[in-house]
Amino acid sequence: MRDEIYWTITCTVKPGRFEELEHVVGQLVAATREETGSIAYDYSADPSRTTVRVFEAYASSRDAELHMTQTFSRFADDFSACADLVDFVVYGEPEPALKSMLDQQNCVYFAPFEGFLRKS
């Protein structure tokens, strides 16, 4: 069993709110960069800037939980004012505390059965 947890999120940007979202995400990325258990944190937008995809990876369930409770929570209201959640897919095997939080987002879960993750 691997400890890493990662997920992909798809959001639609509310009309006229992309620049505001970009500002919120800039602050969020800067704060997340300080987390020692954050492995990857990447936002991408489609050409029309109406859909955003997010890729997040954490060293462990506990690291993902800390991100949600200590970092993202500070930006959640501002983020939600700019974008709506469409899809949230979790990869890995979250521990019960994290899974309880993720279940509130109507996540879809996929457990790894083969593969590897390189660590530098």
Tokens of 36: 């020692």
In a domain, 116, yes or no: no
Give, for 22, the enclosing helix (H) or strand (E): helix 18-33
Quick one: which of 68, 59, 57, 56 has its CA closest to 101?
A: 68
Which residue range is the domain that position 93 belongs to? 5-110
Counting the structural domains of the chain, the total is: 1
What CATH number corresponds to the domain at position 43? 3.30.70.100
Instruction: Write down the pTM of the prediction.
Output: 0.93
Q: For helices 18-33 and 73-82, what crossing angle results, to 10°?
A: 160
- The pLDDT tens digits along the chain (120 residues) read 679 999 999 999 999 999 999 999 999 999 999 999 999 999 999 999 999 999 999 999 999 999 999 999 999 999 999 999 999 999 999 999 999 999 999 999 999 888 877 766
Instruction: Map residue 49 onto helix, strand or coil.
Output: coil
Tokens of 22: 């970009």
pLDDT at residue number 120: 65
